[in-house]
Amino acid sequence: MTGARDVLRRETRDLHDAVDSVYSTFRLDTHDDYAAFLMAQAAAHLPCEVALDCAQAERILPDWPLRRRADLLRDDLRKIGSNISASDSGGLRAEPSFRTASEILGAIYVLEGSRLGGAMLVRSVPGSLPRKFLGASLPGSWRTLMQVIDRDLVAAIEIDEAVAAARQVFGMFERAGRASMRVE
């Protein structure tokens, strides 16, 4: 039997690859590109965290408050000279809305995957640049999330909702990255 995590991975692979392709164009070893990278991340990440807070994600994943990285991202942006206000949703037209437990888990799947990717990317960022957002580690968080996803997403409708939410979030990251590339 294929678990929900496997379905999520398979059904979002195309968008995951598209996001990787867009963000791989940023040179994280230069101040300006790294600043643009962080701004693009903020444009997608911040509204997603706000939406997950509004959906009370901690009801589904009790350690949600520990997983949040918005403050780390804002702090890195401030230190690099690209300020973004606490209320700024990153310039996207609409914040996402996650209504069901399945949608919440689908969105968190993408944000936590981003955390894993950040652990790899942070190696490319010089120590002279702020790296709290990319370097934020929460040991065991991915494994715990995968267990919750496989346990809680059983019915086809639940898995479909999680996939739709994950695709929405991946799409936000892709659009934010592409928009940042056009500005330069």
DSSP state of 28: T
Q: How far is residue 112's CA from residue 118's CA, in Å, rounded to a whole number?
A: 10
What digits encode the pLDDT tens for the residues 113-148?
Answer: 999 999 999 999 999 999 999 999 889 999 999 999
Dihedral in degrees, nearest 10, Cα atoms 154, 160, 161, 167: 130
Dihedral in degrees, nearest 10, Cα atoms 147, 152, 157, 160: -30
Query: What is this structure's pTM?
Result: 0.92
- CATH node for 4-183: 1.20.910.10
**Structural domain boundaries of the chain?**
4-183
